[in-house]
A = this chain, B = another copy of it.
């Protein structure tokens, strides 16, 4: 099967440069300062941001706050059951999410805060790590905004925006936002993280099969840039209204 059909459509009917249907369900749960269910097509990631003031001692001495991310797949999130364990791949993903989200908070401004962003994949159909970054950014934003609203913080330490998407090459065709079906057969697989101005925060590209050229890399980054600008717009729409008081 080809990457696109004669009409230039992918198996799910999308054009190569088209995102899947995108939804951010704010306050999906209500126990934490921020909670967003990020949906990209069938992919569903529940992102929550928990804040406490139990900064590790060595961190407290550094005078900085602390932000980490954790990522996990629910066992029933895939057709083949996913065992509950933290493997190398999981750690790699949560390091990526944490690094990306730390770029949008001024941790020097909140020396007593520890924020944990948890990204739990309820359903996995490709792009779970990039969906985690997109939803995690929103959960983080809501949690910190609520701390401003309740007077814990004088002003928000948020200093930027953050979104991410996957792109890939199949049969030499560049594709945006790959579901599992495409991801599994891609020759090249990229995850790209950008800020709200379209600058690059993280680029991770891997040739699964054959290596790729510089011009193919350029094509993929153009696609990612296009997709991320649309995701950022959707994030801004959510944040246009303040979170409900809790």
**Using a CB–CB distance below 8 Å, which chain A residues touch chain B?**
29-32, 35, 42, 44, 46, 48-50, 52, 70, 72, 74-81, 84, 86-89, 91-92, 94-95, 99, 103, 116, 118, 120, 122-124, 194-195, 197, 199-207, 211-214, 217, 221
Contact of A42 among B30, B80, B94 (CB under 8 A): B30
In the complex, what's the smallest C-beta–C-beta distance from A159 to chain B, in angstroms?
Answer: 11
- Answer whether A203 and B200 are a contact pair too, CB < 8 Å, given A29-B44, A214-B221: no
Contact of A52 among B81, B94, B207 (CB under 8 A): B81
6 A-B contacts (beta carbon < 8 Å): A31-B123, A48-B75, A88-B92, A89-B91, A195-B211, A199-B207
Q: In the complex this chain forms, how many copies of it are found?
A: 6
| Nearest residue, chain B, Cβ from A85 | B86
Residues in B with CB closer than 8 Å to A197 are 211
Supplied contacts A76-B118, A84-B86, 15 more A-B pairs, CB within 8 Å: A29-B122, A31-B78, A31-B79, A48-B74, A48-B76, A70-B84, A74-B118, A75-B116, A75-B118, A88-B95, A89-B95, A91-B92, A103-B207, A197-B211, A203-B203
| Nearest residue, chain B, Cβ from A76 | B48
In the complex, what's the smallest C-beta–C-beta distance from A58 to chain B, in angstroms?
Answer: 12
Residues in B with CB closer than 8 Å to A31 are 76-79, 123-124
Residues in B with CB closer than 8 Å to A80 are 52
In the complex, the answer to whether B211 meets A103 with C-beta atoms within 8 Å is yes
Report the separation of the CA atoms of residues A81 and B32 in the bound assembly, to the nearest whole angstrom. 8
Residues in B with CB closer than 8 Å to A35 are 76
